[in-house]
Structure 1
Amino acid sequence: MSSIAFIGLGVMGSPMAVHLAGAGHDVTGYNPSPHKCGPLVDAGGSAATSIADAVAGAEIICVMVPDSPDVQQVLAGEGGVFAHAKPNALVIDFSTIRPDVTIELAREAAEKGFRLLDAPVSGGEAGAKSAALSIMVGGSAEDFAAAGEVFEHVGKTVVHVGPSGAGQTVKAANQLVVAANIQALSEALVLVESYGVDAGAALEVLGGGLAGSAVLEQKRANMLQRSFDPGFRIDLHHKDMGIVTAAARESGVVVPVGSLLAQLMAAARAQGDGGLDHSALLRGVERLSGRSDT
């Protein structure tokens, strides 16, 4: 069993760290809000008061924070991982950030004697709690193999997709597909309801045909009940769609649907829905259709 530091114990990071501690690893967690270390401590892990304390002696360092600047600060900032981790430590960044930032951080990590994998995840809070995340991993094949003892306890579908940055690129593609599915499902639901159709029955039959998807299965109840407690917040998907459009622009790829979805996410945030689950894109369709009370 390995000595693991886990930095970022939020909605996703906390259950992931708990799974690793439950598997018998020596896990030390750090989060700027110390009370979020509670579940890890209860599971047999320990809490650190700084990144430096967390990574001291750690063989593997896991990071799960919101955005590119956060990862840059955690890894390369003053008091960060690169300044305090032991040589040859394996860093697994589970965050979703820009591919170009990952590539630059991997280069810096190698220069400083560390190994870095970009390993963004899909599956939301439910997937983190059930250790059923889909994990797309960029980096060397050797480092991917070395990280297996972590991946096996937090993920269900774990695939090495290429060199550094490839994991983040695939995650951007994932977020594009998910957003498109949510928006299409929202429009379909408002359409059938406008004709007085039983919405539950409609989604049941759609789910059994070619229109079926993991999005329909997982978000059906949210949409039918108009209950949007966050599993994955619109604020975060808005950030991810910014990654999609930026990556497409840098590579010269045209993503017209992606660009529209980025605007719809921005509109949802402007209407105060940023803290809701991304299935609340439904509210935007209702507003545009004049069928919303808010």
Structure 2
Amino acid sequence: MSKIGFIGLGIMGRPMAGHLLDAGHTLSTVKRGTLDEPLASKGMQELDNPKAVAEACEIIITMVPDTPDVEEVLFGEGGVIEGLKPGTLVIDMSSIAPIATQGFAKRITEAGGEYVDAPVSGGEGGAINAALTIMVGATEEGFTRALPILEVMGKTITHIGGHGAGQTCKVANQIVVALTIEAVAEGLLFASKAGADVAKVRESLLGGLAQSKILDLHGERMIKRTFDPGFKIKLHQKDLNLALEGARSLNLALPGTANAQQLFQACAAQGGADWDHAGILRALESLADHEVGS
């Protein structure tokens, strides 16, 4: 069993950390305002800062919201790099910028560590059920070392390529997810406005070519109007910003991505930055002056 530092106990990180504890690993994290009693009861210890976590652990996992957050945890005052021991495995499971990831990997490698970018897909449900899809950017050695840890939290684990490749794959994933959620919302909105029973429309679509996990899970959210976050709109906005910034650097047009980002922004303007990303439906409903199911 390994001594693991896990930094970032949010909607996704908390159940992921729980799986590692259940598998018998020793877990440390950074002190927050209040003690996480359920994880502490399983043996998780809290230390003062990321440096202390690095000093105590042989593997560090970060699961924080954005690129600057990863940079602060790794390289800020009292950061991981200050306590990094030779051979420490650093696994970033956040969703951040691919180019920045390459820079972070270089700095950790030069300090004697092994860096792996391993962003995830699957939402809160995937984290709770240890069924995440994990997209890995690493050296062959880094991937081999990280795999037994990743297998505790995920179901589909793919070594995409070198440092930054995992994050590139995650950006592509977020483009597909955003456009598919928008398509489901538009389809259900059309059916509802035309007077059809949207629950029966969804049931029928799940048996045909339009079938998808998003139609299944998020379509149900839309019909039941349950927009408590599994994945917040503001985080998907962050991911689409990465896609659009990358597209500009590649001289690439992503019109569907840009449109989805505008719809997410319309939700944020309505106070919905913390809605689940299935809440994109609400922006379309505003444009149509019609609520699905009404």
- TM-score, normalised to structure 1, is 0.96
Deviations 1:55-74 (A, max 9, x none): 22311100000000000000
CA distance in 1: counterparts of 2:39 and 2:160, whole angstroms = 30
Contact 1:6 1:29 in 2 (8 A): yes
**Could you say which residue in structure 1 is the equivalent of 2:232?**
233
2-side partners of 1:15 and 1:39: how far apart? 11
Q: Which moved more, 1:163-172 or 1:262-271?
A: 262-271
Q: Which residue matches 2:152? A: 153
CA contact (8 A) 1:19 1:153 kept: yes
Q: Which residue number in structure 1 is paired with residue 16 of structure 2?
A: 16
What is the deviation of 1:30? Answer: 2.0
Q: Equivalent residue of 2:115, what SS? A: strand
CA contact (8 A) 1:14 1:39 kept: no
Q: For residues 178 and 39 of structure 1, what CA distance do their matches in structure 2 show?
A: 32
The answer to whether the Cα contact below 8 Å between 2:97 and 2:167 also exists between their aligned partners in 1 is yes
- SS of aligned partner of 1:291: coil
Match of 1:171 in 2: 170
Q: Is the contact between residue 57 and residue 86 of structure 1 (CA under 8 Å) also seen in structure 2?
A: no
Q: Shift of the alpha carbon at 1:218? A: 1.3
| CA distance in 2: counterparts of 1:117 and 1:249, whole angstroms | 26
Q: Which residue of 1 aligns with 2:64?
A: 65
Q: Deviations over 1:190-243 (max 9, x none)?
A: 100111111111001111111111111111221111110110010100111101
- Aligned: 1:26 with 2:22: no
Q: Distance in 1 between matches of 2:31 and 2:177?
A: 29
CA distance in structure 1 between the aligned counterparts of 2:6 and 2:198, rounded to whole angstroms: 43
RMSD after superposition: 1.3
Q: Which residue of 2 aligns with 1:222?
A: 221
Q: Name the aligned partner's letter for residue 281 of structure 1.
A: I
Deviation, structure 1 residue 266: 1.5
Measured after TM superposition, the shift of residue 292 of structure 1 is 4.8
- Per the alignment, residue 267 of structure 2 pairs with 268
Distance 1:138 1:108 in 2: 15
* CA-CA distance at 1:42 after TM superposition: 2.1
AA partner of residue 94 (structure 1)? M
> What's the % identity of the aligned pairs?
45
Give matches, 1:1-294, under 5 Å. 1-30=1-30, 32-35=32-35, 37-292=36-291
Query: Is the contact made by 2:84 and 2:111 (CA closer than 8 Å) also made in structure 1?
Result: no
Counterpart CA distance in 1 for 2:224 and 2:274 is 17
SS in 1 for 2:56: coil
Q: Is the 8 A contact 1:230 1:276 kept in 2?
A: yes
Counterpart CA distance in 2 for 1:83 and 1:47 is: 18
Q: Give how far 1:45 is off.
A: 2.1
Whole-Å Cα distance in 2 between the matches of residues 108 and 49 of structure 1? 23
Structure 1 runs not aligned, ≥5 long: none
Rounded to whole Å, the distance in 2 between the matches of 1:215 and 1:292 is 20
| Deviation for aligned residue 1:168 | 0.5
Question: Aligned pairs, how many?
Answer: 292
Unaligned 5+ segments in structure 2 are none
Select between 219-228 and 159-168 the one with higher mean Cα deviation: 219-228
Read off the aligned partner of 1:187 and give its amino acid letter: E
Q: Report SS of the residue matched to 1:221.
A: helix
